[in-house]
Structure 1
Amino acid sequence: MAWRRRYPFHWMSRDMEDLMLDMERMWGPTAVRILPPGGIADRMLPAIRGEFRVDVRDLEEEVIVVADLPGLEKEDISVSLINPVTLEIATFRRMESEEREKEYFVKERFSGSMKRIVVLPREVSEERANASFKNGVLEIRLKKAAVDKGTRIPIE
């Protein structure tokens, strides 16, 4: 009961969660893209949905993706190259113990799964790809795929 007195507008939180789920259905990775990748939508929607943030670097010979995943263990993370320009990072966080919600004064940490689809700036190859995880930071290094530059066509 004390919890309800501190948060009299608890129903607003539930409505916001429903709204965010609707937004994810509309603008999520499987939805039809209205805006081109790399714009404001790609930068802001992860923060709105409560997802982890990533940095993507486009270097001369490789693409580097860095994700902040505090509080996770290496075993809780899965990385998949869906296609040459799309990377999926999935996580699952377990709570230490089952505790009733009424015992909390504030509960902002969550348990469950998160998934992030990252659009890469160039086509990459799964060969020689590697990932490391240290101090809550995941770093994925992907070598760029060889691009055929075409052949010269002689002019008659």
Structure 2
Amino acid sequence: MSDFYFSGDVFSELDRVQRQVSSLFGNFPSSIRSSRADAFPQLNIGSSDDAIHIVAFAPGVEPSSLDVTVDKGTLTISGERRAQGAVEGSRTYAKERFSGNFRRVIELPQNADVDKVEARYENGTLSITIGKREASKPRAITIQ
């Protein structure tokens, strides 16, 4: 006889197993595409029929210190966020705001058209739009 107990409710069993695995391995991201909570800048990535949209949240970063490059199917966002709020001659007891150099690399889907990239920085948010290749866009087929 097996020691395995099954209550009959598959979803509650899956939830129980997920909680046990989470407790064993800590708080890993719930998605393969998720990253560490302390990654900077934090990103939102989505797509429409015409483009891929990437929003990087980078408050306190000067637009002139940002660098966006596309190479071999990857988009790289790098730059520097300078330390702010320090009073000259004071000792720091706690520092919760990240400062220094950063770099995020995003693998682009195959249908991204790297010749159609636009980037705009406004109010601490870097918005990047990458067009999709014409061949990958949905199109209606006429039935004869």
Count how many residue pairs are aligned between Structure 1 and Structure 2. Answer: 107
Which of residues 65, 68, 91 in structure 2 aligns to 1:79? 68
Q: Which residue of 2 aligns with 1:130?
A: 118
Q: Which residue of 1 aligns with 2:104?
A: 116
RMSD: 2.7
Which of residues 28, 41, 45 in structure 1 aligns to 2:32? 41
Structure holding more helix per residue: 1
Q: Which residue of 2 aligns with 1:144?
A: 132
Give 4+ residue runs of structure 1 displaced > 3 Å after superposition. 96-100
- Kindly provide the amino acid, as one letter, of the partner of residue 42 in structure 1: R
**1:57-104 CA distances to partner (integer Å, 9 max, x unpaired)?**
1111111111100111101111111223x211112122257957x712
> Secondary structure of the residue that 2:135 maps to in structure 1?
coil
Say if 1:99 and 1:107 are closer, same or farther in 2 by CA, change over 3 A: farther
Say if 1:50 and 1:142 are closer, same or farther in 2 by CA, change over 3 A: closer
Alpha-carbon distance in 1 for matches of 2:91, 2:71: 42
Say if 1:114 and 1:147 are closer, same or farther in 2 by CA, change over 3 A: same
Which of structures 1 and 2 has the bigger CA Rg? 2
1:67 aligns with 2:56: yes
Q: Which residue of 2 aligns with 1:9?
A: none
In the TM superposition, what is the alpha-carbon distance from 1:42 to its structure 2 partner? 2.5
Percent sequence identity is 26
Unaligned runs of 5+ in 2: 1-29, 137-144
Q: Which residue of 2 aligns with 1:55?
A: 44
Say if 1:113 and 1:57 are closer, same or farther in 2 by CA, change over 3 A: same
TM-score (norm 1): 0.58
